[in-house]
Amino acid sequence: MSYPTAKVIADQVRAGKRSAVSVAQTAIRRIEKFDGAINAFTDHTFNRALLTAADIDRQVAQGIDPGPMAGVPFAVKNLFDIEGLVTRAGSKIRRTANPPTRDSAQVASWVNAGGVLMGALNMDEFAYGFTTENAHDGATHNPHDLTRMSGGSSGGSAAAVAAGLVPIAAGSDTNGSIRVPAAFCGVFGLKPTYGRLSRRGAFPFVHSFDHVGPFARTVGDLALAYNAAQGDDADDPVQARRSKAEISLDENSPPPDFRIGVLGDWFQNNAWPEALDAVEQVAK
Catalytic residue from among 19, 177, 191, 198: 177
> Which entry of 19, 77, 91, 191 is annotated as an active-site residue?
77
Beta strand pairing status for 211-216 and 73-77? Answer: unpaired
Query: Are β-strands 116-121 and 73-77 bridged in parallel, bridged antiparallel, or unpaired?
Result: parallel
CA distances in angstroms from 87 to 142, 177, 225, 251, listed in the order given: 24, 18, 22, 35
Q: What angle do CA 95, 99, 102 make, to 5 degrees?
A: 145
Cis preceding linkage at 153, omega within 30: yes
Cα 73 to Cα 236: distance, rounded to the nearest angstrom: 26
Taking the C-alpha atoms of residue 185 and residue 163, their distance in angstroms, rounded to an integer, is 9
What pairs with residue 121 in β-bridges? 41, 77
DSSP 8-state class, residue 247: P
Q: Is-catalytic flag, 153?
A: yes
Query: Is residue 91 annotated as a catalytic residue, yes or no?
Result: no
The radius of gyration of the chain's CA atoms, rounded to the nearest angstrom, is 18
| Torsions phi, psi for 143 (to 5 deg) | -60, -25
Residue 216 is given by DSSP the state E
Active site residue 244: no
Burial class (CB in 10 A: 0-12, 13-18, 19+), 5: middle
H or E stretch including 126?
A: none
Contact between 156 and 122 (Cβ < 8 Å): yes
Which residue in 153, 154, 157, 172 is the catalytic one? Answer: 153
Active-site annotation, residues: 77, 153, 177
